Amino acid sequence: MESAATLTRLVRRVFYRLVVPVVSIAAALSVSGVLIVVASGNPLEAYGAMLQGAAGSIGSLATTGVRTTPILLTGLAVAISFRAGVFNVGAEGQLYVGAAFATVVAVAPLGLPGFIHVLLALLAGFVGGALWVAIPAYLRAYRGVSEVVTTLMLNFVGIYLISYLIDPITGPIGERNASYAQSALVQETARLPVLISGTSLHAGLLLGIGLAVALQILLRYTGLGFRLRMLGGNPTAARFTGMNSSRQIVIAMLISGGIAGLAGAGEVIGLRMRLYDRFSPGYGYDGIAVALLANSSPLGVILSASFFGALRAGANAMQQATGIETSLVLIIQALTILFVIFGPLRGWVATRTTRRAGLTPGGSESAP
């Protein structure tokens, strides 16, 4: 009896959390479908090809996994900052700086066992990302400067900084006399293991999933998570409990930046094996979209990042099969986010859940 009630409660809770994202995705796909028709294509054919390219075979599933990995990590980075009421929109820059830090460690012939070298490289990536957000964090926490502006601006600085670092002539970590701006090759010992041989799916995906679970636990079951949620829920009330909000803001931002740095590290030592100029097609910004779609729930980010990853993975197959530009994917993504933010949908869920307010869950997911 008791457990049956708990179960229905859980089901209902999950259901209401999924309504907004699922309906948004469906709506976005429908509207894009209309666009395809207008462009005299066949939406079913296009989506079919996309699905095939994203999940039609082991190889395509692996591609989806590869595409998901960086977005999953940047999505988690953004989500954790949103939960603490901080808007870190600088995951892109933090990803680049994290990648550079990881590269420095990963290209060095340290003669360490593989496991340790990998860990060190990842750690360096985390530190790099965290360092890159440290200045905005300080400014926000102790000087009241909006982190939206500072983190965003540092994205550009970060991207150009990496261009300089790997310049073939002047860059301190650039490969000399290479025809492209790139770093040296990552040492064998510093490479993330491949999960399915013959594909490029690497352990970065597991890192992301593990991290999502860890963050969920952090938010729900630890004192630190409680503080961060309190800060996100009502910063004034947090101050009135005597909490040192400035410190919590810094902690939240450092964690967020560090995770974005991990995303960069993962790309370098898991997939590309070198640091390239402008290697990220905007993973840091995708992270914002993914976090919004998941309503900043870490476990939700696994789902939303997979969706975005699948879109990316399926896009090429779709273009080959139907000739529709891959940029359709960007339209789908943008529409999805618009529907997520779309008020009436959220309103509907809100009224449905307050009607059963006795049953609303404890560990609240707060919208960013």
CB of 148 to another protein, least distance (A): 17
CB of 354 to ligand ATP, least distance (A): 4
Which among ligand ATP, another protein, none contacts residue 169 (Cβ within 5 to 8 A by kind)?
none
Range 68-97, binding ligand ATP (CB under 6 A): none
Interface mask toward another protein for 38-77; x: CB under 8 A: ----------------------------------------
Report how far Cα 207 is from the mean position of its chain's Cα atoms.
12
Q: 10 Å Cβ neighbour count for 14?
A: 10
Interface mask toward another protein for 335-364; x: CB under 8 A: ----------------x--xxxxxxxxx-x
- Helices 283-293 + 298-322 axis angle, to 10: 120
Nearest residue to ligand ATP, by Cβ distance, number only: 357
Of 30, 222, 320, 327, the one binding another protein (CB under 8 A) is 222
Give the interface segment with another protein, choosing from 150-158, 164-172, 175-183, 240-248 (CB under 8 A): 240-248
Which among ligand ATP, another protein, none contacts residue 240 (Cβ within 5 to 8 A by kind)?
another protein
Of 198, 240, 281, 343, the one binding another protein (CB under 8 A) is 240
- Helices 147-165 + 114-143 axis angle, to 10: 140
CB of 353 to ligand ATP, least distance (A): 9
Check residue 229 for interaction with another protein (CB under 8 A): yes
CB of 233 to another protein, least distance (A): 4
Q: 10 Å Cβ neighbour count for 276?
A: 17
Q: How many chain residues are in contact with another protein, going by CB under 8 A?
A: 31
Question: CB within 8 A of 349, min separation 6: which ones?
Answer: 16, 19, 20
Q: What is the DSSP string of 346-359?
A: HHHHHHHHHHTGGG
Contact status, residue 191 vs residue 270, Cβ threshold 8 Å: yes
Say how far apart CA 314 and CA 48 lie, in whole Å. 9
CA angle (9, 10, 14) in 5-degree steps: 120
CB of 45 to another protein, least distance (A): 41
Check residue 230 for interaction with another protein (CB under 8 A): yes
The neighbouring-strand residues paired with 276 are 182
Q: 10 Å Cβ neighbour count for 231?
A: 22
Name which of 334 and 350 has its Cβ closer to ligand ATP.
350
Q: Is 242 helix (H, G, I), strand (E, B) or coil?
A: coil
Range 278-337, binding another protein (CB under 8 A): none
Query: 316-337 burial, b if ≥16 CB within 10 A, otherwise e?
Result: bbbbebbebebebbeebbebbb
Name which of 179 and 351 has its Cβ closer to another protein.
351
Q: Is 182 helix (H, G, I), strand (E, B) or coil?
A: strand
Say how far apart CA 258 and CA 289 lie, in whole Å. 19
Look up residue 164 and give its two tokens: 């300089």
Name which of 5 and 334 has its Cβ closer to another protein.
5
Name which of 235 and 361 has its Cβ closer to ligand ATP.
361
Name which of 38 and 357 has its Cβ closer to ligand ATP.
357
Name which of 272 and 346 has its Cβ closer to ligand ATP.
346
Say how far apart CA 133 and CA 191 lie, in whole Å. 26
Range 347-366, binding ligand ATP (CB under 6 A): 354, 357
Which among ligand ATP, another protein, none contacts residue 41 (Cβ within 5 to 8 A by kind)?
none
For residue 115, report the phi and psi dihedrals to the nearest 5 degrees.
-55, -45
Name which of 42 and 360 has its Cβ closer to another protein.
360
For residue 194, report the phi and psi dihedrals to the nearest 5 degrees.
-85, 135
Q: 10 Å Cβ neighbour count for 165?
A: 21
Name which of 38 and 240 has its Cβ closer to another protein.
240
Which residues are at the interface with ligand ATP (CB under 6 A)? Answer: 354, 357
Which residues are at the interface with another protein (CB under 8 A)? Answer: 220-226, 229-230, 233-234, 236-243, 351, 354-362, 364, 366
